[in-house]
Amino acid sequence: MNFFEVIRFSLRGLSANKLRSALTMLGILIGVAAVILLVAVGNGSAKAISDRIEALGTNTITVMSTGRGGSSSTSLTKDMADALVDEQMAPDVKSVSPVVSSSSATMTYEGTDHSVATFVGTTPAWFTASTTPVERGSAFTDDDVAQGRRVVVIGKTVAEELFPGVDPIGKQVTVGGALFTIVGVLADKSSTGFDDANDRAVAPLTAVQQVLTGYGALTSIIVEAADPDRVDAVQGQVATILNQKLDVDPSSTSTPYRIQNASSLLETQSQTAATFTTLLGAVAAISLLVGGIGITNIMLVTVTERTREIGIRKALGAPRRVILTQFLIEASLLSVLGGALGVAAALIGSQFSIVGVKPVIVPSSIGYAVGVSIAIGLFFGGLPAARAARLRPIDALRYE
């Protein structure tokens, strides 16, 4: 009685009741697929969020004013931005980019209008600090900023809107009544939230202040740390300098500015996402457990129903081991096949985006889900089978 023979017996046992076998497998299939897919969705959404945050730049902090309106005592100024470049007090600061932005600028080229979502005025350091590299052409220079030259780098969306099929570099556009020369196009950038990150234009700070925003407060200051590990240190240094500049009482809990730290934001977000993933996984694990109970139930029914058959087999000289193996293989075939189909279903399902999230499969979840389903099948299938195989043949034969 070799092993293949026992497998053949098991297959015959399973195929004798096809519908029941199929339904049991379906239970495991759904359980396994749910675990893998839901964990993948959780993981995918966590990844999407962290990608977006990383796109903001993880080694930068953004200083924003909390003051409403233009009260000069609380607003951020170019002077403050310059003060942040200080070897002594802020040794970990790599660059400081003062930013003014306008959301109501209209760019016109040969009669075509485009309302630019964000028109940014800043310094060249902004391009690296905000991880927004220039794809074609070039960025403007410090000299351009110093001279207030009207040059502009536009985003992908702006380029497509105003210059369909035409190379925009060197063209002149009208913004707020002034002529700007396009010197570059920004690389494609993944969007944060609902805003189109490609619908923007970047020009020297001085030019934008002159033409659009005036010489008032800055919208924000982007400070780039020398090293991603030093972001927190930079945050402290920046806070110290700003407190001096703005005459903030050190004991005061509220400051007229707000510091946004992308890496701490990322940390918080990934913690939230991990909780979310665990929650989804737990829900799915319950469905896997239900699938496992399905196998247990079916194996109990199968063994009970076939106790007579076990008696006949024993009377014909089947050793206990062979009978036990047959039922164990039946149980594990159900769980292995169900599990494999579940993995296949999950892999197919992960090709589609679910509720706007592209699932990212976690390999360990596959092992976990399949392992649990097999363990359940073997244990709870084996238990009643072992009991039946131990019966004396006559007791098994008399079993009703």
Partner 1 sequence: MSRPVLEVTDLKKIYGQGEATVHALRGVSLTVERGDYVAIMGSSGSGKSTLMNILGALDTPSSGRYLLDGVDVSRLSDGQLALARNRLIGFIFQAFNLIPRTSAVANVELPLAYAGVKPKERRRRAMAALDVVGLADRAGHEPNQLSGGQQQRVAVARALVTEPALLLADEPTGNLDSKSTDDVLQVFDDLSAAGRTIVIITHEKEVGDRAKRLIRLVDGGIVTDARQSPLHLPPVGAARVAHGRAMVAGRHTR
Instruction: For residue 346, give the amino acid letter.
Output: A
Instruction: For residue 341, give the amino acid letter.
Output: L
Q: Contact between 12 and partner 1 (CB under 8 A)?
A: yes
Please state the closest distance from residue 3 (CB atom) to partner 1, in A: 12
Burial of 266 (0-12, 13-18, 19+ CB in 10 A): middle
Instruction: For residue 212, give the amino acid letter.
Output: L
Identify which range of 1-9, 58-66, 95-103, 239-247 contacts partner 1 by CB under 8 A: 1-9
Of these, 48, 134, 312, 345, which contacts partner 1 (CB under 8 A)?
Answer: 312
Identify which range of 105-113, 123-131, 312-320, 372-380 contacts partner 1 by CB under 8 A: 312-320
Please state the closest distance from residue 16 (CB atom) to partner 1, in A: 4
Alpha helix segments (H runs only) across the chain: 3-15, 18-56, 78-84, 125-129, 142-147, 156-162, 205-208, 231-245, 262-305, 307-315, 320-349, 363-390, 393-398
Tokens encoding 7: 């497998």
Please state the closest distance from residue 51 (CB atom) to partner 1, in A: 56
Q: Contact between 5 and partner 1 (CB under 8 A)?
A: yes
| Residue (249 or 400) nearer to partner 1, CB | 400
| Residue (200 or 313) nearer to partner 1, CB | 313
Q: Contact between 318 and partner 1 (CB under 8 A)?
A: yes
What residues numbered 321-350 form the site for partner 1, per CB under 8 A? 321-322
Identify which range of 61-69, 108-116, 205-213, 310-318 contacts partner 1 by CB under 8 A: 310-318
DSSP letter for 80, please: H
CB atoms within 10 A of CB 139: 20
The 107-146 site mask, x for binding partner 1 (CB under 8 A), equals ----------------------------------------
- Beta-bridged to residue 97, according to DSSP, are 222
Please tell me the count of residues contacting partner 1 according to CB under 8 A: 24
Of the chain, the end-to-end C-alpha distance in Å amounts to: 29
| Residue (58 or 307) nearer to partner 1, CB | 307
Q: Contact between 279 and partner 1 (CB under 8 A)?
A: no
Tokens encoding 20: 């029941």
68/82 Cα distance (integer angstroms): 23
Of these, 47, 301, 309, 360, which contacts partner 1 (CB under 8 A)?
Answer: 309
153/166 Cα distance (integer angstroms): 15
- Beta-bridged to residue 108, according to DSSP, are 113, 174
CB–CB of 118/200 below 8 Å?
yes
Question: 62 φ, ψ to 5°?
Answer: -115, 125
Q: Contact between 314 and partner 1 (CB under 8 A)?
A: yes
CB–CB of 53/265 below 8 Å?
yes
Q: Contact between 392 and partner 1 (CB under 8 A)?
A: yes
Q: Count of residues for the chain?
A: 400
Coil, strand or helix at 99: strand
| Residue (2 or 364) nearer to partner 1, CB | 2
DSSP letter for 112, please: E
**Please, what is the Cα angle at 348 between 345 and 354, to 5 degrees?**
100
Identify which range of 29-37, 38-46, 201-209, 390-398 contacts partner 1 by CB under 8 A: 390-398
Coil, strand or helix at 215: coil
Please state the closest distance from residue 337 (CB atom) to partner 1, in A: 20
Q: Contact between 315 and partner 1 (CB under 8 A)?
A: yes
Of these, 54, 178, 397, 399, which contacts partner 1 (CB under 8 A)?
Answer: 397
Tokens encoding 188: 């494609």
Please state the closest distance from residue 5 (CB atom) to partner 1, in A: 6
Q: Contact between 319 and partner 1 (CB under 8 A)?
A: yes
Q: Contact between 1 and partner 1 (CB under 8 A)?
A: yes
Q: Which parts of this chain interact with partner 1 (CB under 8 A)?
A: 1-2, 5, 9, 12, 16, 308-309, 311-322, 392-394, 397
